[in-house]
A and B are shown apart, each in its own frame.
Chain A
Amino acid sequence: MPSPLNAKVSKQFKPVHLLGHIVLLGVGIILLYPLIFMVLAGFFTKTEFSSTVLGIFPIPKAPTLENFKALIAGSTDAAVATYMKNSLIRTVYNTFWAILTSFLAGYVFARLRFKGRDALFLILLATQMIPGTLAIIPTYLEFARFPFAGGNDVFTGGTGILNSWWVYFIGGPSINIMGTFLVKQSLEKVALEIDEAAIVDGAGTIRLIFQILFPLQLPIMAFIAITTALGTWNDFITPFFYTTSDHLQTLPAAITRISSVGASPGAVINYPMIITLSLGITIPALLIFAFFQKYIVQGLANTGIKG
């Protein structure tokens, strides 16, 4: 941030700047260390990982790319490629809907006039205060008793929509309240004259929304898309609690099932497989972050200051 004050400061050397570098870099490396460890461990074969006495930086004697290949081509001991594919499908699906619903609902609350608009928006915001934990068990019950689904005669008899693709897909078109809030805030800063000019030029509502206003909101839409994508990609709750079949698992749920939480008590934890799956989750997330970090940092600052 260029300012007369900062410019003056940066010209002269200050010991406090050295302290800044040391702390930010030193602690930064410590913060990255678990990920560095994860990547290094990814080069081990299963047998070598179990037989090596792990030090701070585990270096394999015979590095292998097997673990990384398994993520794409699949592995013999677990349906790694299926988990990867399921994670990807869920992420793309949820991100698509988050973008569409946030933008449309944001447009409605920022631009359209109708009775009860502000009250409705306030109620929506207020529901954000209720923690999501409250709904985990009721959602399970609702899915299990879903009318006429999965062998249910009205409410009972079958498993409802539990353990089916519906668990992943049903919530997509729901309103994304945080996203709606961000789009509303951002759209209110766009001059109304732009809408009016577009309408005078003969644009209809759909054209106005998607061709004129949407391109102006790309930064905030990118933030919504990235947070939704990362949230879905990292989510283990939905697949772990509401599905059981192997072919429906995602990467995080697959880890949960072979970790100390899901494995049978006393079983030896298969850490090499956990490392493989963890890399499968972490590397794409890091890539998304690397490409879009500008939007994440901006978006975080915006939610913070306005929220």
Chain B
Amino acid sequence: MENAGLRQRKIPLRRRLGRHKDALIAAVILVPMFLVWLVVSGFPTLFGFVLGFFEWVGLADTPNFIWFDNFISFFQNPVYTDALWRSIWLGGLVTVITLGAGFFAALLMNMPLFGKGFYRSIWYIPAITATVATTQVFNIFLDSNNGVINNILKALGKEPIVWQYSVGWGIFWIVVYSVWKGVGGAALIWLAGLQSVDLALYEAAEIDGAGRWNKLRYVTLPGLKPIATYIVITNLIAAIQIYEQVLFITNGGPYGQTEVLVFRIYRDGFWDFNLGMAGASSLIMALIVIVVTVLYYNWSTKSDRRTTIPLKPVKSAGKEALPHAQSTKR
């Protein structure tokens, strides 16, 4: 004991303080943030994980623990399984179209065109608009009485279409809206990826006699691997959880046949007050998202080891990193 005390006294006061100072400052900064985070995120999320195991109808009801009954009825009731399946294929479809069109646009934006900054901006603008506002414009286009599209059809001498009565058209417009909103953001991220591929590789490929297609196939695509991982995961996760456009464009109709799972959660929770079922559906959605993320991440990092194309260091935020500043540890 005495020894320890002696040794401590030999270290200058400032350094002794310095050792604990970091932890102290970190605590002062982080603890209040974490407490609030627990209230608004941590606790509701944990609560969300257990809510599905209760029968709980209406706020005033006393929750009743029923093990897996909600999950069993989820998989036995076609309302839920259909909604889940629709979320998955609709999300997949939206992702494929958005990323495909976005990639094509990014290839065009990567050409030395006059006014390419302008093009980038106008393509991205739909992404910054509020879903609730722009879906209403789509509703004006699709209105059965005075809708713009039906007015045009009538002017052309064709029969007007009551979009709201058709499942196919409902899905179609949900997809159109989602792609409209997402394609610009996808294009910008693909473009950043295209511009991070080392130009020397293109020159080398050109010397080897590669044409436009071969350069795309053997230089661009392998170089885009890291960004493709990111963009596919984030887009797919977001698209599986699409519901705002469903809510505002079709409202699940006709007869609930355009319902997706997150929309179903909203209905259960805020219309029918079947909180237990909403909890069970949320948990299933969360598990699907987590599994998709982990699987895709594993798959893409595994295949990364085979294709190692060096990336040019990204010029981030206009500042070049200093050579000695790369270390992340202090």
Contact of A28 among B119, B128, B275 (CB under 8 A): B119
B133 and A281: CB pair below 8 A? yes
Contact of B317 among A220, A234, A281 (CB under 8 A): A220
Q: How large is the interface on A (under 10, 10 to 19, 20 to 34, 35 or more residues)?
A: 35 or more
Contact of B29 among A6, A24, A32, A104 (CB under 8 A): A104
Are A54 and B151 also in contact (CB < 8 A) when A34-B137, A234-B129, A307-B230 are? Answer: yes
A136 and B265: CB pair below 8 A? yes
Interface flags for B184-223 (1: CB within 8 Å of A; 0: not) read: 1100110111011001001100100000000000000000
| Interface: A200 (CB within 8 A) | no
Determine which residue in A24, A137, A216 has the highest number of CB atoms from chain B within 10 A of its CB, and name it.
A137
With CB as the reference atom, state the residue of chain B lying closest to A16: B111
A138 and B44: CB pair below 8 A? yes
Contacts of A16 in B (CB 8 A): 111
Interface flags for A1-15 (1: CB within 8 Å of B; 0: not) read: 101111001100000
Contacts of A3 in B (CB 8 A): 199
Determine which residue in B59, B112, B230 has the highest number of CB atoms from chain A within 10 A of its CB, and name it.
B112
Contact of A142 among B43, B152, B230, B318 (CB under 8 A): B43
| Interface: B17 (CB within 8 A) | no
| Interface: B308 (CB within 8 A) | no
Contacts of B195 in A (CB 8 A): 1
B128 and A289: CB pair below 8 A? yes
B37 and A175: CB pair below 8 A? yes
B270 and A241: CB pair below 8 A? yes
Determine which residue in A27, A41, A269 has the highest number of CB atoms from chain B within 10 A of its CB, and name it.
A27
A257 CB to nearest B CB, Å: 10
A142 and B47: CB pair below 8 A? yes
B132 and A24: CB pair below 8 A? no
| Interface: B83 (CB within 8 A) | no
With CB as the reference atom, state the residue of chain B lying closest to A175: B33
A9 and B112: CB pair below 8 A? yes
Complex CA–CA separation, A105 to B318 (angstroms): 23
A182 CB to nearest B CB, Å: 10
Interface residues of A in 248-301 (CB under 8 A from B): 251-252, 255-256, 259-261, 269, 271, 274-275, 277-278, 281-282, 285-286, 288-289, 293, 296-301
With CB as the reference atom, state the residue of chain B lying closest to A253: B132
Complex CA–CA separation, A4 to B37 (angstroms): 51
A31 and B279: CB pair below 8 A? no
Complex CA–CA separation, A99 to B44 (angstroms): 24
B33 and A56: CB pair below 8 A? no
Contact of A5 among B133, B134, B184, B203 (CB under 8 A): B203
B220 CB to nearest A CB, Å: 13
Are A129 and B282 also in contact (CB < 8 A) when A31-B126, A38-B137 are? Answer: no
| Interface: A135 (CB within 8 A) | yes
Given A112-B26, A113-B330, A140-B270, output 20 extra A-B contacts at Cβ < 8 Å. Answer: A41-B140, A50-B146, A55-B155, A114-B22, A114-B23, A131-B237, A134-B49, A142-B39, A189-B316, A189-B325, A191-B322, A234-B132, A271-B139, A274-B136, A275-B136, A289-B124, A289-B125, A297-B124, A302-B316, A302-B317
Enumerate the 3 nearest inter-chain pairs by beta-carbon distance, A residue then B residue, closest first.
Answer: A301-B192, A234-B130, A278-B133
